[in-house]
Amino acid sequence: MAGHSFSPLLWFGVTVGQIAIVLVGVLVSLAFLLWGDRKVWAGVQMRKGPNMVGPFGLFQSFADFGKFVLKEIVIPDGADKAVFLLAPLVSFILAFGAWAVIPFAPGWVVSNINVGILYLLAISSLGVYGIIMGGWASNSKYPFLGSLRSAAQMVSYEVSIGFVLITVILLAGSMNLQLIVQKQAGWIWNWNLFGGGLRNLPMALVMIPMSVVFFVSALAETNRPPFDLPEAESELVAGYQVEYSSTPYLLFMIGEYANIVLMCAMMAILFFGGWLPPFPTPFLLSWPPIVANLLFLLVFVVKVVCFFILFALVKAIVPRYRYDQLMRLGWKVFLPGSLAAVALVAAWRVFGPGA
C-alpha cells in the first residue's frame, strides 16, 4: 500500500527528470550549434568567425549568454510592460514545449503520444503569438510591421508543411513519431524519402520533392534567411525584436534557434529514418539496450547537425526574397504542389501494389 502511495510521486519525478535532461541537452547543443552557424557563415565569407573565447572559440556562445543576462532590461516608453515581457517568455516556452514528443532513440521520448504530429502543428501555430505580442507591445511601427509579416509568413508556410506531413502520415499509417521512425527500419530505401520500401520506390518521385518543400517551408516557418522578412535589417531595423535587449532578447533568440533545430530533427524523423542508420542493425540486439540506444542517439544527432549545416549554408549563400516573392512561392507553388502530392500518395496507397 505504501509503495502505491509513492508511485504518482515517482512518476512525477521521472517525468520532471526527463524534461530537465531534454531541456539542458537542447540548450547546451544550441550554444555549440550557434557557434557552428557563425563559423559556417564566416567560412563562406572567407573570415575566421569566433576563435578567441575558449579553444577554437567554442565558449563564445556562453560569453554572449553572460553578456545578455548581465545587461539592463530596457522597456520603451508607452510600451505595454506586461505583454512586452511576456512575449519572449511565450516564444521560449512554446519552442521547448514542442520537444516533448521528439523521439531521440527507441523509447527515449518525454511523451510518446499517438498524435505527435498534430501536437507539433498546434505548438508551431501558437508560436506566432509570441512574435505578434512582442511587435504590438513595443509601441513602434517597425516591430509591429515585422510581427504582421511574421504572422502572414508562418500561416502561409504552415499550410504547405501540413500537406507534406499528410504524405508522411499516409506512407507510415500513423501520427506517432516513434512508429514513423520504426516503419523506416532496414536499408536506406525504406526511408520515407524513397517512398518507404522497395514496393513504394516510385513514390520517391513525390517524396524527394516533398522533402525539399518541407526544408524550404521550415526556413520560412523559423524566419530563417532567405525568408527573414520579419527581421529584415535593411527595412525594419531587425523587425519585431528591435526594441528588445538583455534577457528578453536572449529568450527570443533561444526560441528561434530551438525551432530551427526542431525542424532539423523533424527532417531526420519524417524523411531520413530518425535515429536509424541506413542499414539493418540485427547485431545491436546482443548489445545492452542503453549502449544500443546511445548509438542510435549518435546517429540522430549526426543527421540533425547535417541539416543544421544546410540551414547555415542557405543563410550564408542565398539572397533575401522580396515579400511578394515569398508569398507567391508559398501560395502558388508549394500549396498546389503539396496538395497534388497528397493526392498521388493517397492514390498509391489505395491502388498501388502495397494496397
Q: Give 1-53 pLDDT, tens digit per residue.
A: 444 455 888 878 888 888 889 899 999 999 999 999 999 989 988 888 888 88
Beta-bridged to residue 105, according to DSSP, are 108
Lowest-confidence segment of 41-45, 64-68, 145-149, 266-270 by average pLDDT: 145-149
pLDDT of amino acid 354: 61
In 10 A of CB 75, how many CB atoms? Answer: 17
Q: Specify whether 110 is located in the same domain as 199.
A: yes
pLDDT, residue 272, reads 92
Q: Are residues 51 and 104 in the same domain?
A: no
Q: How many domains does the chain contain in total?
A: 2
Q: Is the pLDDT of residue 86 over 70?
A: yes
132 shares its domain with 207 = yes
Type of residue numbered 140: S
Task: Examine the domain organization and report whether 54 and 100 are in the same domain.
Answer: no
Cis peptide before 50 (omega within 30 of 0): no
CA separation, residue 286 to residues 26, 62, 105, 106, 297 (Å): 30, 40, 17, 15, 18
**Are 178 and 199 contained in the same domain?**
yes
Span 212-257, pLDDT tens digits: 999 999 998 888 878 887 776 666 666 777 888 888 889 988 998 9
* Claim to verify: residue 199 and residue 262 sit in the same structural domain: yes
The answer to whether residues 129 and 48 belong to one domain is no
User: Can you read off the three cell numbers belonging to residue 296?
Assistant: 542510435
What pLDDT is attached to residue 324? 84
Domain edge (last residue) among 44, 70, 96: 70
> Could you tell me if 107 and 2 lie in one domain?
no
Q: How far apart are CA 117 and CA 79, in angstroms?
A: 37
Cβ neighbours of residue 104 closer than 8 Å, sequence gap 6 or more: 275, 296, 297, 300
Question: For 250-253, which contacts have Cβ atoms below 8 Å and span 24 or more sequence positions?
Answer: 250/65, 250/68, 250/69, 250/88, 251/88, 251/89, 251/91, 251/92, 252/88, 252/91, 252/92, 252/130, 252/134
Same domain, yes or no: 15 and 147: no
**Predicted confidence (pLDDT) per residue in 141-162, tens digit:** 888 888 888 888 888 888 899 9
Do residues 255 and 280 share a domain? yes
Rounded to the nearest 10 degrees, how much is the dihedral formed by the CA atoms of 144, 146, 152, 157? -150
Residue 282 CA to residue 303 CA, distance in Å, equals 21
Q: Assess whether 62 and 90 both reside in one domain.
A: no
188 and 194 Cβ atoms separated by less than 8 Å: yes
pLDDT in the model for residue 135: 85
Last residue of a domain, one of 70, 103, 120: 70
Look at residue 1 in the predicted model and tell me its pLDDT. 40
Mean pLDDT of 121-131: 86
Mean pLDDT of the chain: 87
Residue at which a domain ends, from 70, 92, 118: 70
Closest CA to 249 of 58, 84, 137, 47: 84
Q: Residue range 68-92: average pLDDT?
A: 87
Instruction: Name the residue range of residue 21's domain.
Output: 1-70
Is the domain of 81 the same as that of 63?
A: no
What pTM value is reported for the model? 0.90
pLDDT at res. 346: 93
